[in-house]
Amino acid sequence: MDKASKERFFEVDALRGIAILLMVIYHFFYDLDFLGIADFDMNCGLLLIVGRSAAILFILLVGVSLTLSNSRSVLAPENSPGQFTHLLWRGAGIFSFGLVITVVTATVLEKGTIYFGILHMIGISIILAYPFLKYRLVPLIAGIFILFAGFFMENVYVDFPWLLWIGIKPHGFYTLDYFPLVPWFGVVLLGVFTGNSLYPGYRRSFRICECESNVLVRLLESFGKKSLLIYLVHQPVIVGLLLVLM
């Protein structure tokens, strides 16, 4: 593997850092409202935009990162484990963190247990995305199709919970975090299309500013590299601090 294929693209990590910061900001105001400290309408206006922007950017970058990982394995297969096995273990690991969140929310909350939140969705999507990674237009077409399917399924309800993971909800379903595969796997596939278009063969296909040494960019990069850890700990930290201050 040559030196270029070992390097990370700073802009991808920085964008992921922006996404995780937006998510922390959104959850800070969400917790203020949930704990009754202040009253915010989380379903409209600027806060809704912040929350959705964070989720869309974060999930889109999942797809981009998958293409970069796949490109590295293609460039140096002798130094890479079987790509599907790698994605299987990676996806299972992230999904297991989602299961921990399910257990915790079921234990501490009276209602709103998170059964299929963003980590559940990302874990499954990492595995499901494998057949799409070597294509450019196929994930674009499939992603658009899944997104449109999500509009039609949004108001579909049934009498059982077994299809929650694809976006078909039981009557009266309530949760604090819900990211079904339809439509959100479509966003992952759009990220795969984006990654294969912008970084073919693990090379940038566009020019970018020489700003990786900028302090702010480096800070965002560091947040992006630790995004999973930040996601796992930020809610307990925010809630704990708010309860102490109260």
Q: What is the pLDDT of residues 16-40, one digit of tens each?
A: 999 999 999 999 999 999 999 999 9
For residues 147-154, average pLDDT: 94
Beta bridge partners of 170: 158
pTM: 0.94
Question: What gap in Å lies between CA 82 and CA 102, rounded to an integer?
Answer: 30
Rounded to whole angstroms, the Cα distance separating 224 from 177 reads 21
**Higher pLDDT residue, 199 or 43?**
199
- Residue 77: count of CB within 10 angstroms of its CB: 12
* pLDDT of 168: 95
Q: What is the pLDDT of residue 81?
A: 59
**CA proximity to 139, closest of 155, 125, 160:** 125
The CA distances from residue 50 to 18, 161, 177, 230, in Å, are 11, 29, 15, 17
pLDDT of residue 80: 55
Average pLDDT, the chain: 93
pLDDT band, residue 245 (cuts 50/70/90):
confident
Question: Measuring CA to CA, how many Å separate 180 from each of 21, 154, 206?
Answer: 23, 10, 33
Query: Which H or E run includes 235?
Result: helix 227-245
For residue 1, pLDDT over 60 is answered with no
In the numeric block, which tokens belong to residue 150?
A: 């999500």
User: Minimal CA–CA distance to 16: which of 162, 217, 164?
Assistant: 217
pLDDT value for 77? 62
**Rounded CA separation 45/12 (Å):** 27
- Cα 159 to Cα 171: distance, rounded to the nearest angstrom: 6
**Mean of pLDDT values over 150-174:** 94
Structural domain of 239: 3-245
| Domain total in the chain | 1
What's the mean pLDDT in 146-172?
94
Q: pLDDT (tens digit, 9 = 90+) per residue, 83-136?
A: 899 999 999 999 999 999 999 999 999 899 999 999 999 999 999 999 999 999
Under a CB-based contact definition with an 8 Å cutoff, are residues 79 and 6 in contact? no
| 246: CB partners within 8 A, 6+ apart | 35, 37
pLDDT-wise least confident of 73-77, 88-92, 202-206: 73-77
Candidates 125, 130, 134; CA nearest to 196 is: 134
What is the reported pLDDT for 186? 98
What mean pLDDT is predicted for residues 167-183?
Answer: 95
Question: 120 φ, ψ to 5°?
Answer: -60, -45
